[in-house]
């Protein structure tokens, strides 16, 4: 039952975010709402990086380097294709977790530096929330942002 529910949640997150992700281009990735906010490209990259970095708490090693978590957008231009690949691979990591973890493993706790000790399913839920949160920011920026 758990795997079916998690798979449905992941698929819905992918679908909902895909409406925004398909609108991102290399050109509009430099859009920002104002000087103090992150660009579309920074946030898109951040979503991909976080799925990879958080997957380490599930025991999945990654070679992805953190360039966005806890960092301020300095105007670095991120390559759209690389970010897209990170996001797609991140979703594949989440799908693999669903397939490979047992029902019991989802309820087992793991230690994280930002939430303390939580269950794997709660961390998975955070990843989906995190994706949606930043996807909403990207949507707003694509609609109302400017090239600063």
Tell me: the pLDDT tens digits for 96-143? 999 999 999 999 999 999 999 999 999 999 999 999 999 999 999 999
Q: Which of 83, 19, 73 is nearest to 49 (CA)?
A: 83
* Cα 59 to Cα 19: distance, rounded to the nearest angstrom: 31
Q: Contact, 139 vs 43, CB < 8 A?
A: no
Confidence class for position 2, pLDDT limits 50, 70, 90: confident
The residue among 100, 82, 78, 101 whose CA lies nearest residue 90 is 82
Assess whether pLDDT exceeds 90 at residue 57. Answer: yes
Q: What is the pTM of this model?
A: 0.95
Contact 21, 86 (CB under 8 A): no
Instruction: Tell me how far apart the alpha carbons of residues 55 and 124 are, in angstroms, rounded to a whole number.
Output: 9
- The position carrying tokens 């390559």 is 79
Quickly state the pLDDT bin for 9 (edges 50, 70, 90): very high
């Amino acid at each position: 039952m758990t795997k079916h529910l998690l798979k449905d949640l992941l698929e819905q997150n992918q679908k909902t975010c895909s409406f925004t992700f398909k609108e991102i281009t290399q050109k509009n990735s430099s859009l920002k709402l104002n000087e103090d906010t992150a660009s579309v490209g920074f946030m898109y990259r951040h979503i991909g990086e976080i799925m990879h970095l958080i997957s380490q708490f599930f025991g999945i090693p990654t070679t992805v380097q953190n360039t966005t978590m806890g960092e301020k957008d300095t105007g670095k231009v991120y390559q759209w294709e690389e970010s897209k690949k990170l996001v797609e691979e991140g979703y594949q990591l989440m799908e693999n977790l669903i397939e490979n973890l047992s029902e019991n493993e989802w309820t087992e706790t793991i230690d994280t530096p930002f939430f303390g000790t939580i269950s794997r399913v709660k961390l998975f839920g955070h990843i989906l929330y995190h994706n949606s949160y930043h996807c909403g920011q990207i949507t707003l920026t694509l609609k109302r942002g400017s090239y600063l």
